[in-house]
Amino acid sequence: MIDKIVLITGASSGIGWATAEAFSKQGAKVILCGRREHKLKELAQILPSTSYILNFDVRDKKAVFSAIESLPKSWKKISILINNAGNAHGLDPVQTASLEDWEAMIDSNVKGLLYVTKAVLPVMIEAQKGHIINLGSIAGKEVYPNGSVYCSSKYAVDAFSQGLRIDLNTFGIRVGCIHPGMVETEFSNVRFKGNVERAQKVYQGVKPLTAEDIANAILYMALAPEHINVADMLILPTQQANAYILNRKN
């Protein structure tokens, strides 16, 4: 049972959606953040606990701060922040990759995560407790071909999580980072800009992780007793050894 307010970014699909469901089933009050309002409304309808929708894009600094500011009093005391919003755009070598793809990844995966953290932090500092869980990636632990900027963005998430844990050490706020390997969500569809065939190839012959697998791992981090901080969790499908070694079975 979680008697807390949990804010989840990128809740309109994939890991964010599954995480909202997992926390809601535990009784948590969930703040659903995302760009696609109709998806957030759809999610709110199926959740067993109370939820509140904040429709904004994490890349928009002003929108982030005003959305958090706009929360009614009864929703302001956020105890758990799950920084999930982020995406991969393209899988290309530096020399041919598009600047727009790079900017989209840096703006959401890095800058967006920083904005949301900064906006939510004051209530945790005031309460002298709280829990921030960031979505990293295996791509933040190892660099793979054609992934230079996506990997850079996830290395940044890892570094920021470590720095945040140091800076918040005296405030009783837990900071953890979860690093999934291959998870089957909209991830590859977005990375390959809707090229379904290319996206499907990623998962060929592999039993990937599901969004629910990651949601359960996040729940484990949150449910750990207060004196335990699961600081870093790398989670891979059994068929995946590292960022690029996969035991595909066709």
Catalytic residues: 150
Look at phi and psi of residue 194 and say left if phi exceeds 0, alpha if psi is from -120 to 50, else beta: left
Write each residue from 88 to 127 as x if it is in contact with ligand 8X3 (CB under 6 A), else as -, in one continuous string. ----------------------------------------
Q: How far is CA 157 from CA 72, 133, 137, 162, 231, in A?
A: 29, 11, 9, 9, 13
Q: In the bound complex, what is the minimum distance in angstroms from residue 186's beta carbon to ligand 8X3?
A: 12
> What are the distances in angstroms from CA 200 to CA 131, 203, 208?
35, 6, 11
The amino acid occupying position 223 is L
Considering the rule CB under 6 A, would residue 161 count as an interface residue with ligand 8X3?
no
Which residues are CB-contacts of 164 (< 8 A; sequence separation ≥ 6)?
117, 132, 175
- Strand extents, DSSP E, 136-197: 173-180
60-68, 70-78, 114-122, 134-142 -> range binding ligand 8X3 (CB under 6 A): 134-142
Taking the complex as a whole, the smallest distance from the CB of residue 184 to ligand 8X3 amounts, in Å, to: 11
Identity of the residue, 144 or 171, whose beta carbon is nearer to ligand 8X3 in the bound complex: 144
Say whether residue 218 binds ligand 8X3 (CB under 6 A). Answer: no
128: left (phi over 0), alpha (psi -120 to 50) or beta: left
Member of 6, 15, 138, 164 binding ligand 8X3 (CB under 6 A): 138
**CB of 139 or CB of 177, closer to ligand 8X3:** 139
Shortest approach of ligand 8X3 to residue 151 CB, angstroms? 7
CA angle 212, 223, 33 (to 5 degrees): 55
- Give the binding range for ligand 8X3 (CB under 6 A) out of 114-122, 133-141, 161-169, 212-220: 133-141
What does the angle CA 239 – CA 194 – CA 140 come to, to the nearest 5 degrees?
Answer: 45
Query: In this chain, which of 15, 32, 132, 139 binds ligand 8X3, going by CB under 6 A?
Result: 139
User: Which secondary structure element, helix H or strand E, spans residue 150, and what is its range?
Assistant: helix 148-167
Residue nearest to ligand 8X3 (CB): 137
Which residues 163-202 are close enough to bind ligand 8X3 by CB under 6 A? 181-182
Interaction site with ligand 8X3 (CB under 6 A): 137-139, 181-182, 243
